[in-house]
Amino acid sequence: MACSAVLRVHVQVQWIHKNSHRVLTSDDRIEIDDAVNEIVDGYQKYDVQRRQAGDQTTYMLIIRRLVLTDAGTYTCQINVKASHVHPSKDGVLVVLSTCSFMLHSVPLLTTCLHALVIAHSC
């Protein structure tokens, strides 16, 4: 999921999982503890990438190893310091299906999951 904004001084961009009321990121930092954001095969479950193009900055939330509980509404919120203005944008992650592979009756660690992101703004 991506959230773009023209950033000015004194703002903070956060990704929030609304269903769990959990702040996942602040700017390009991960805010959840390592027990939830476990590293598997060298990659954290949650990550954020920041990309700059002119005066526009995009914060892309990356969720790896999807599970059914990852479904829900994710909010990108811009917190303007010294202001009560907090523009936000919601995106809905719908987990459509899961699959796993078996080899000689032993489940492999490989799983696949299909997801659909439905974005809309407030």
**What residue ranges do the domains of the chain occupy?**
2-121
Q: Write the CA distances from 85 to 77, 80, 82, 100, integer angstroms.
A: 10, 6, 9, 45
For the segment 102-121, what is each residue's pLDDT rounded down to a tens digit? 454 444 444 444 445 554 44
Phi, psi dihedral angles at 76 (to 5 degrees) = -100, 120
pLDDT band at 97 (very low <50, low <70, confident <90, very high): low
| CATH classification code of 2-121 | 2.60.40.10
Taking alpha carbons only, the member of 92, 86, 85, 83 closest to residue 118 is 92
The pTM for the full model equals 0.74
For the segment 67-95, what is each residue's pLDDT rounded down to a tens digit? 888 999 999 998 888 888 788 999 898 88
Q: Write the CA distances from 43 to 37, 39, 63, integer angstroms.
A: 9, 5, 10
Q: Write the CA distances from 92 to 9, 42, 72, 96, 117, integer angstroms.
A: 29, 27, 6, 12, 6
For the chain, the farthest-separated pair of C-alpha atoms sits apart, in whole angstroms, at 61
For the segment 5-62, what is each residue's pLDDT rounded down to a tens digit? 776 667 889 999 999 999 999 988 999 888 888 888 889 999 999 998 888 888 999 9
